[in-house]
């Protein structure tokens, strides 16, 4: 009987522990020194070069929207019906031959709708004419809830840090493989996203955002848990803030990256 009581208490303790919200990293205990981390961090501190992501050849595939999808862009409707710039004004991105193209200096484009959990299909194309290298070549990005970037980059024979190439969750998760097509060829992302749930404060995930990505039909992110919003410099955990449904955002990184066939299913 005594063993049974001890076992029951252990299970109860385990259950309560399991139910606790996640703790984000904090400053060292007991210290009164002024915290300088991460203020003095530099970009290379979070850029991982080796080992390089394995290169594979994706198969041909297309993905047309199912009947319950919200069509965000199919090249036929006025772009300003579903999209706007970050200030709520008409976008300066252009639609040419049914394709949405980023215009350098115009800023992001974002949906008027706001989303929580979703399945997203989006197709993109880096410029056929190769200009620049590394992060300066065919760079854009798909920001889930405006905060969590899945990188769009011409990563075909274009070396950069592994957690900065196409299909990465920027500086958090490199893709499992490099499934890029050549610049100038259409590529697709199929993304399954679970939004975070928050604890009662404003800086702690109760459950973190979770992301699965297929790149040209190949699994490159397998239900990964994000540490926090995308940051160029510093540690994501330090910039977590409570949020609700947010827009889908496409990045203007100065390159004329094109998009087509964008649809979403709310989950």
Residue position matching structure tokens 């905060």: 147
Indicate the residue among 137 and 260 with the shorter CB distance to Mg ion.
137
Instruction: Give the nearest distance from C-beta 82 to Mg ion in angstroms.
Output: 21
Indicate the residue among 227 and 253 with the shorter CB distance to Mg ion.
253
State the virtual CA torsion across 36, 39, 42, 46 in degrees, nearest 10. 90
Whether the Cβ atoms of residue 5 and residue 11 lie closer than 8 Å to each other: no
Q: Would you tell me how many other CB atoms lie within 10 Å of the CB of residue 43?
A: 14
Q: How many CA atoms lie within 13 A of 126 on its CB side?
A: 27
Sequence-distant (6+) residues with CB within 8 A of 5 are none
Instruction: Give the nearest distance from C-beta 192 to Mg ion in angstroms.
Output: 20
Whether the Cβ atoms of residue 215 and residue 240 lie closer than 8 Å to each other: no
Instruction: Give the nearest distance from C-beta 141 to Mg ion in angstroms.
Output: 3
Indicate the residue among 148 and 205 with the shorter CB distance to Mg ion.
148
* Nearest in space to 194 (alpha carbons), one of 178, 205, 179: 205
Q: How many residues sit in the footprint of Mg ion (CB under 5 A)?
A: 4
The stretch near Mg ion (CB under 5 A) out of 26-34, 91-99, 208-216, 244-252 is 244-252
Indicate the residue among 198 and 246 with the shorter CB distance to Mg ion.
246
Whether the Cβ atoms of residue 108 and residue 86 lie closer than 8 Å to each other: yes
Instruction: Give the nearest distance from C-beta 258 to Mg ion in angstroms.
Output: 15
Instruction: Give the nearest distance from C-beta 24 to Mg ion in angstroms.
Output: 25
Indicate the residue among 205 and 234 with the shorter CB distance to Mg ion.
234
Instruction: Give the nearest distance from C-beta 135 to Mg ion in angstroms.
Output: 8
The stretch near Mg ion (CB under 5 A) out of 117-125, 219-227, 231-239, 247-255 is 247-255
Residue 256 found at the interface with Mg ion (CB under 5 A): no
d(CA 74, CA 69): 12
d(CA 252, CA 241): 24
Q: Which of 123, 138, 141, 178 touches Mg ion by CB under 5 A?
A: 141
Tokens (6 digits) for 21: 């919200």
SS3 148: strand
- Binding mask 121-140 toward Mg ion (x if CB under 5 A, else -) reads ------------------x-
The stretch near Mg ion (CB under 5 A) out of 81-89, 113-121, 229-237, 243-251 is 243-251
Instruction: Give the nearest distance from C-beta 124 to Mg ion in angstroms.
Output: 11
Q: What angle do CA 141, 63, 223 make, to 5 degrees?
A: 55
Residues that bind Mg ion (CB under 5 A): 139, 141, 251, 253
């Amino acid at each position: 009987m005594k063993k049974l009581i001890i076992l029951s208490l252990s299970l109860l303790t385990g259950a309560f522990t399991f139910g606790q919200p996640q703790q984000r990293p904090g400053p060292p205990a007991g210290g009164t020194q002024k915290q300088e981390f991460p203020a003095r961090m530099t970009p290379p501190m979070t850029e991982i070069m080796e080992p390089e992501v394995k290169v594979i050849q994706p198969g041909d595939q297309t993905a047309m929207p199912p009947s319950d999808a919200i069509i965000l862009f199919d090249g036929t409707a006025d772009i300003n019906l579903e999209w706007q710039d970050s200030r709520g004004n008409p976008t300066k991105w252009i639609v040419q031959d049914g394709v949405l193209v980023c215009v350098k200096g115009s800023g992001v484009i974002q949906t008027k709708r706001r989303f929580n959990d979703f399945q997203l299909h989006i197709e993109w194309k880096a410029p056929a004419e190769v200009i620049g290298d590394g992060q300066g070549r065919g760079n854009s990005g798909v920001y889930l809830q405006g905060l969590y970037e899945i990188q769009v980059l011409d990563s075909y024979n274009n070396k950069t840090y592994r957690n900065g190439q196409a299909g990465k969750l920027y500086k958090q998760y490199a893709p499992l493989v490099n499934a890029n097509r050549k610049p100038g060829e259409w590529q697709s992302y199929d993304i399954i996203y679970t939004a975070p749930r928050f604890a009662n404060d404003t800086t702690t995930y109760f459950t973190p955002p979770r992301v699965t990505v297929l790149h040209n039909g190949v699994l490159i992110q397998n239900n990964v848990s994000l540490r926090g919003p995308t940051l160029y410099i510093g540690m994501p955990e330090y910039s977590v803030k409570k949020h609700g449904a947010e827009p889908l955002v496409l990045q203007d990184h100065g390159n004329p990256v094109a998009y087509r066939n964008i649809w979403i299913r709310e989950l």
